[in-house]
Chain A
């Protein structure tokens, strides 16, 4: 009597086990790749950040000492401050321009609209490295465009590569690169607004600005949040532009100009892999936190 009961219970457990296993078989390949290419590097960075390797004395476990050091490192904070300022100034300008262009293109009142759309998007297709090299040349006061303008018009334009103006110059490059990209995000969101809404608005006698405020902007709120999050992450990860301009403006762009550049310099010039990993982990956390805040705020406004 008891025996079959046991078997039945055993069979049920086995079935459950099988079912469990079947699930794992499906997600297994994904989990393996996910663990290998997403979790392992993060785990390894955290592991690295707990050690310290020195030229003399070798490697030793130091616990959270690297984090303690980063939190009191003026260079790390100045880098973070710089990208925060960049975020606060460049991102709104860029998104506003992108929105303006998207609305203009969407209005259908532009001549040569296709050309305009492609023209604005084109800079995004130019690799960041090439774009920066090109702008670096334009910025030259001796033999670059700024220099030529000074010569031709008798101006004394300041060098865009001085410590005072370099962040602005980088902001200009990044804006040039990414207005088109954000424009496409906004434009595609605008394209899915049903035309019946516009017809209804027209019947109600709404003007273009009223339509923009009451229909178009609410319709692309989701896209705005997404674009903002991308821009936040992009700002905190600022690296290509300063790293390349550094050759042209070695004194204006320090080795700790942005957190990424700082981590790079620490690791590749200073052999401080452990501390570089610490900076990377901290920046990851800070970026996540800010992106999450933006998302929370964006979602709260969602009707």
Chain B
């Protein structure tokens, strides 16, 4: 399987490189930093050198090993500078100080606009990334296309799906919900049947809420350069808020924070019977809730309209090149290898979920049977979800901050009489205040 995958990836990469080679030489206007051709990058890779990579994604270690085997003259220094916010802090500090800046940094999609806006990361169109559009699935590709440039290459993606504990569902004769209304009904039914069990946990999670609004068609964040609009009163957002409010009011959500011990225990012992989360979850279930192996299944995301197919992304990261990186050509060679080249196959083997169309459509990938899901070909569900991600979503150019105060505002709806909609409005206030202080124009 791996050999075939590698072949496909190589073919795709060659095609992509050829395309981008043309693009960068034909259209110099599109390349603000002067075009760097595929040949230049190849030359840099052959000449060798040293690059520093900051990433926390576990499969990247194998990618680095594979890359160094292929380009023995390049030395990659892989640093885990913390995950998520911790790493961004370190990165922002390094950029502000102008020293110790890595050549490549992992940046989650929600955080990329912040770095792009500050021009802290490089517009990769100069390196031919503009032509990679067809290589990646639409959701992740849209996420790295921000502020009129391409500021990273998608590494993985998280098209959402419903993970559910089939054993619990069967025991209480609950059908897999096809719509969100069904989902609420299922939550009631389970709670009545077993007072210790919950259909789902939620203690207020910004990533989850924004993904749900995304799927419902809400567009609360609108960004045009430095002019920003935050509005949680559009139809999609209200639809989500009203529905989820029912679950909170009727105490149908387990008040358990994700990634806590209690969470994994609940997933293991069946007291948390489903998850609405990105396609990168299986590896975490396998390691964190191993006791429930074989009991879980994957289904498409419940829909807002019966018969619909709408989906959204949840999480996922890109690899970006800081503007102050020392060795950009080499860095681009690496991220191209990792995200559009041989590295993709290596990462898939490690259990990551791809952001590349070739892999998503490859028969081998789709036919993979997950023993954790009782032999289900779960990738079929994920790949279908990836194709149906609703377009037009954008995050705030200061989403990192906004998400950090989500629980101060929206989170209060989970622990007090505040409604979810009031919480969202308070979130808007906090985000708008910060945006204004930071020099944005709030529409």
Question: Could you tell me if A255 and B404 are in contact, using CB atoms closer than 8 angstroms?
Answer: yes
Is A55 positioned at the interface, with any CB of B under 8 Å from its CB? yes
Question: Could you tell me if A142 and B438 are in contact, using CB atoms closer than 8 angstroms?
Answer: no
Q: Which of A231-254 contact B (CB under 8 A)?
A: 247-252, 254
Q: Which of A143-158 contact B (CB under 8 A)?
A: 143-144
User: In the bound complex, how far is the Cα of B256 from the Cα of A137, in angstroms?
Assistant: 12
Known: A142-B254, A248-B260, A252-B415. A271 touches B408 (CB 8 A): no
Known: A143-B261, A270-B404. A56 touches B439 (CB 8 A): yes
Contacting A247 at CB < 8 Å: which of B118, B257, B408? Answer: B257
Task: Please name the residue on chain A nearest to B412 by beta carbon.
Answer: A251
Is B117 positioned at the interface, with any CB of A under 8 Å from its CB? yes
Known: A55-B118, A256-B408, A268-B85. A143 touches B266 (CB 8 A): yes
Interface of chain A, main secondary structure: loop
Count residues of chain B with CB under 8 A from any CB of chain A: 39
User: In the bound complex, how far is the Cα of B226 from the Cα of A216, in angstroms?
Assistant: 68
B203 contacts across to A, CB distance below 8 A = 250-251
Is A298 positioned at the interface, with any CB of B under 8 Å from its CB? no
Task: Please name the residue on chain B nearest to A69 by beta carbon.
Answer: B437
B81 to chain A, nearest CB (A): 13
Contacting A54 at CB < 8 Å: which of B271, B405, B439? Answer: B439
Contacting A248 at CB < 8 Å: which of B89, B257, B400? Answer: B257
Is B239 positioned at the interface, with any CB of A under 8 Å from its CB? no
B401 to chain A, nearest CB (A): 5
Question: Could you tell me if A271 and B257 are in contact, using CB atoms closer than 8 angstroms?
Answer: no
Is A57 positioned at the interface, with any CB of B under 8 Å from its CB? yes
Question: Could you tell me if B85 and A250 are in contact, using CB atoms closer than 8 angstroms?
Answer: no
Question: Could you tell me if A251 and B271 are in contact, using CB atoms closer than 8 angstroms?
Answer: no
Question: Could you tell me if B438 and A251 are in contact, using CB atoms closer than 8 angstroms?
Answer: no
Question: Could you tell me if B259 and A254 are in contact, using CB atoms closer than 8 angstroms?
Answer: no
As a 0/1 sequence over residues 27 to 49 of chain B, the CB contacts with chain A under 8 angstroms (1 = contact) are 00000000000000000000000
Question: A-side interface residues toward B, CB under 8 Å?
Answer: 54-57, 137, 140-144, 159, 162-163, 247-252, 254-256, 265, 268-272
Q: Which 10 A-B pairs have the closest CB atoms?
A: A56-B439, A269-B404, A251-B411, A250-B407, A57-B439, A55-B438, A54-B439, A254-B408, A270-B401, A251-B415
Could you list some 23 contacts between A and B, CB below 8 A? A54-B437, A54-B439, A55-B114, A55-B440, A57-B439, A137-B261, A140-B262, A141-B255, A162-B415, A247-B259, A248-B260, A249-B257, A250-B203, A250-B257, A251-B414, A252-B415, A255-B404, A255-B405, A255-B408, A269-B404, A270-B434, A271-B92, A271-B401
